[in-house]
Structure 1
Amino acid sequence: MLHINVNILNAGVFGGSWRFPGTDGTASYTIEHYTSIARKAEEAKLDAVFLADGPSLDPNIRHRTANNLEPTTVLARIAAQTERIGLIGTLSSSYNDPVELARRLGDLDHISGGRFGWNVVTTAGPVAARNFGRTGEPEHALRYRRAAEFTEQVVTGWAGRTELVSPQGRPVVVQAGGSSDGRRLASRIGEVIFSADQDLDHARAFRTEIRAGAAEFGRRPDEIVVLPGLSTVVGGTEAEAKARRELLDEILPDAYARGRLAAQLGISLDGLPDDEPIPAELLVDPDEAGGSQTFYRVVKAIIDTERPTLGQLLKKLSGGGGHRIVVGTPEQIADDMERWYREGAADGFNVMPDVLPSGFADFAEQVLPELRRRGLFRTEYDGTTLRDHLGLGLPTAPAGAYQGRPLEAAR
């Protein structure tokens, strides 16, 4: 069956979600925002809640509520108020210590009853670098070399525990990254892969590549779960769904949308008119881009294939970063999810509702029942741990090749 997480991202994935009628724009600064969504996700029998994060203060705060609460702190509270739902948190391999992180996450996995998953990220961007006293962003390949060694150190530490051992053996390793380095890292250490894709054929090829790469590392390809990000806009009718999307586009702060896109592409958009395409000469090959090559690749593909004006591109992305957006009735959204699943492009989805909490309520109360009617989603949990929900066994731990060796600094 489908595996489905909900990404609790501030007030919702859309850049103007915090301005949506009836939404408390500052709710994401309260713990109840997260615990209430998590309890609803557990009632809906989702695999997990997912928390994104970045170790920096977001300069876009003037245009959108941001700067999440620290993930392990939030997930510990969610663990205390739930029993079965999985708990996935994003923590940086670039700006943490592997020994400390292994203890912190291992303890959380133990006290939650084996429900934790760690989303390994390499943390792109100069803002985070400055937050740690660095003069510039670490080079892309270095971030991924460090991530591989860092993760293997953490997993080796978990495997060596003799006390406070988790009921699932150790936390699930989640990885997100679509660059060449990111795909290699996913095949090497990822158990759940959070991906970004607009095109079904490309997503299917991505999933095939990751599984084949895992086999090269001596791993079982069928124990890798690929979950593309999916932004949902649900309406009782197709017209209602389209009207909701149009309103979200109208309330998107233009300065936020431009700033986010400029950061993704690594260029300035100052002086570029809305009614003309972004000049092709400003864009480099994705493998040469700094920052997040995953989202650069997604956005550049849209530019190359659709030739949108800047204004059209900003509306298509809706300030959400590049994840695919599906707008429609519960049946239409279920049709789309089923197609991607049946055609081998996804094992499930990391659902990113347009607005929180209302968009997730719509998804849980309208889309999930439709998926269940098709036999595509569970009605009850079969187990108690995140590995149970995902159908994952416990892979062999690294042999400790990196134990005791200092990591290459992400400088």
Structure 2
Amino acid sequence: MTAPLAAYEGIVGATVLRQLRKFGEKLSGVRVVHVNSTREGGGVAEILEWMTRLMLELGVEASWEILHGNPGFFEITKAIHNGLQGHNVGISSRDWKIYEDVNAANLDRLRPRLEEADLVIIHDPQPAHLLRLCDRRKGKWIWRAHIDISRPFRPVWKSLRPIVEGYDASVFSMAEFAQPLPHPQFLVPPSIDPLSEKNRDLVPAEIEAVRIEYGLDPSRPVLVQISRFDRFKDPVGVIEAYRMVRKVSPVQLVLAGGGATDDPEGKSVLEDVMEAAGNDPDIHVLLLPPSAHRTINALQRLATIILQKSTREGFGLTVTEGMWKGKPVIGGDVGGIRLQVVNHHTGFLVNTPEGAAHRIRYLLHHQDGIDRMGATAREFVRENFLLTRHIREYLTLMLVTLRDIKANLVNV
């Protein structure tokens, strides 16, 4: 449950909240519909959970809808996702027809809200085709891409681009992700909710209970990577880095995460991880349910170092979460991780398991570096990656996109 806006004053200050309420006054009564493909699992669902609630508190008539699909549909959209992130994938004309048909099957259920909305925000490629089907729409439509499409597999982008071109605007997390499109584009990095179950302060007893539950030795450093079991997160590469470190330092590794209903590859990736971990008692592979927010919170607080060794990453909210807990992060030198991990200041960027192992060893021998980077990381998140900044930027782009509807726009 998202906290009321007033609860964030002690973290971001009263001025920030007054500004948000002024934005809300200008958008009062505006009907906004968010559409994505899953209610739980992954950062997009987490963002939409708090964003919808806070928009409602600010006076925006916000709602959140889900695109329903069968396993075959999600296998196709996972291939589209992988292709947009640069992998050579095979998507047939029949697959694209299934993609269109599932979007069409959802339209009857969603049509009333979509047609009457002042603004529709479509998240990622799964529901993107709804735009072409909703021919009696009255409002503006925005496509929000949460993934890294800086170097897409061209056949996939060639098929998706004609759909995306029809939107009134698009939103990306970084300038590097944007593609040439015939409409305005906005840059809005994601954020975390500092008062959510995953990020709020925990009492020491709760943290200790999680340590005991998973058999973590309090006398040895703990390396933690939290993420879906996804090949782009490179969990097997994390195990390789751990084994290099283990030759010189007695460390433990936690790979914890879950799946998402729109990601059918998770099971096979988890099997690969289990095979790579073997019988090592100091590698803890945890398949957690979507509701395990406080467990993830505690694991991140138990960590000596947070890892996120992705090979592609739209943003990486687990990086933000780890930094908010005052931990240095060793992350892949890709995508949105680059926005967060500042080399030698909030952590280190790496490209290989060898590079990750080198930086882990360095930090384990420099406790002062761990403490300094962790403190810097937390403040960096406070200044740049909390939900109040995120919702302010969404409200701003809404005002700009809807200026014909809200003709009385004034400075706020």
TM bucket (normalised to shorter chain) is 0.3 to 0.5
Q: Taking structure 2 as the reference length, what is the TM-score of the superposition?
A: 0.35
Q: Taking structure 1 as the reference length, what is the TM-score of the superposition?
A: 0.35
Q: Which has the higher contact order (CA 8 A, sep 6+)?
A: 1
